[in-house]
Amino acid sequence: MVFSSLIFMFLYLPAVLLIYYITPHKFRNAMLLVVNLVFYGWGEPVFILLMIFSTVLNYVYGYFIEKFRENKRTAKILLVTAIIINLGVLAFFKYAGMLTDTLNVLPFLNIPDFTIPLPIGISFYTFQTMSYTIDVYRGDTPAQKNIVSFGTYVSLFPQLIAGPIVRYRDVADQLDSRHENIEQFTLGVKRFMIGLGKKVLLANSMGLLWDTLRPDMSANGALGNWVGIIAYSFQIYFDFSGYSDMACGLGNMFGFEFLKNFNYPYISKSITEFWRRWHISLSTWFRDYVYIPLGGNRKGVFRSIINILIVWGLTGLWHGASYNFILWGLYFGVILLLEKFVLKSFLEKLPNAVKHLYSIVLIIFGWVLFYFDDMGQLGAFLASMFDFSNGVLSHDAMVTVLQFLPLLIAAAVASTPLASKLYDKIKNYNWCWIPETAVTALGLLVCTAALVSNSYNPFLYFRF
């Protein structure tokens, strides 16, 4: 069940909200735990057991890590064991197929195919539970004694499937004593509608444009392929940021406040800035739980370079069991190293427009690496972006681009903070609620109409 489905919007969510708000406060976590499991089990009932296992495992380890915190050796053994089990489960379900395929390259091996279904959201809730046990070990948060509250945190359906990665310490107080109110609920509705609009009106449209142009890469002309990958760049941004907005909005409706996961990344003037704005919860997770523990930049330049490459290789691997993701991560890792040690002073002297262009071109090439898991297709598409043998833009590609041009322009504008700045200027006027309510209602109608009339409604980050 996805947030942008009619059954979620008009059946599941209203029913859950009704039950939640008539439930006494002391039972709301238990009620949420049940509906979280129902939500997850809607599509993958068998993997509910895996999530329950992860919940119980990390609850028990968190309890004993805190109990033996004064005994550093015992606490560290418990922490390392918990991390190994968590990563082992993740690796088994997500990377076993990749590992067997890699080993089968050896001429003397013939391991049977070991590809198994990937439990939805496992990358997200595994990182959440690991951050909990690590924070308990560090003394950054007390262990949760109530397993229902901890289970609610792990399985919280607004951010369960595709993030943001919510750290326990950021919502610990909210789990035990949140205070829902109409202002927060209204904010949640607005944030959900913004995310729904991003997903249904922009991400789906850009995805359709990309899927139309991509099969004819050899005939589109160079410009047609550039437009195609730009459309994909918009698709993945509005798809993921739209989901994050909906997740944050749903959290508000139930009294939670999740940290912002995207901050207009396509306005960045460097790749360093881009990664401060894109998937913030993942970037900061790797910084706090991998980069800094490895030594960060405290042990010299060479060690810092190695640490950055390790982090970005793992960041790529987190996204999927394919070598193109590792290549994608290392691609950005190398650029970040160049900006840190070589290009920093040079970039600072460039005009802002040039810095924007530099950043967006590198980001677009990154999405090419991200999309194509077949190295032959990857090379063919990169070549097609500079192949003018079929002209700049074929007739068929031009017709397609013109058909989607208004939506391309809308996507470009929506990827900037222009609308947000306009809203900030008028939101304090007494009459602002009138257009705000009208836009929200109209947005719901348009999104509903789009969902009814169009079956194209994927969520890209579900596969991560």
Among residues 25, 179, 279, 319, the one annotated as catalytic is 319
Which amino acid is located at 313 in the chain?
G
279 is known as an active-site residue: no
Task: Give the pair of three-digit tokens for residue 33.
Answer: 């735990």
With contact defined as beta carbons under 8 Å apart, do 171 and 150 qualify?
A: no
Cα gap 305→361, rounded to integer Å = 24
In angstroms, what CA-CA distances link 266 with 197, 206, 230, 241, 357?
A: 18, 16, 11, 12, 10
Cα gap 354→356, rounded to integer Å = 5
With contact defined as beta carbons under 8 Å apart, do 214 and 384 qualify?
A: no
Cα gap 293→310, rounded to integer Å = 12
Give the closest residue to 7 by CA, choosing from 38, 51, 33, 29: 38
Identify the DSSP state of 300: -
Cα gap 435→287, rounded to integer Å = 41
With contact defined as beta carbons under 8 Å apart, do 80 and 87 qualify?
A: no
Task: Give the pair of three-digit tokens for residue 117.
Answer: 């279904």
Residue 48's SS3 state is helix
Instruction: Provide the annotated active-site residues.
Output: 319
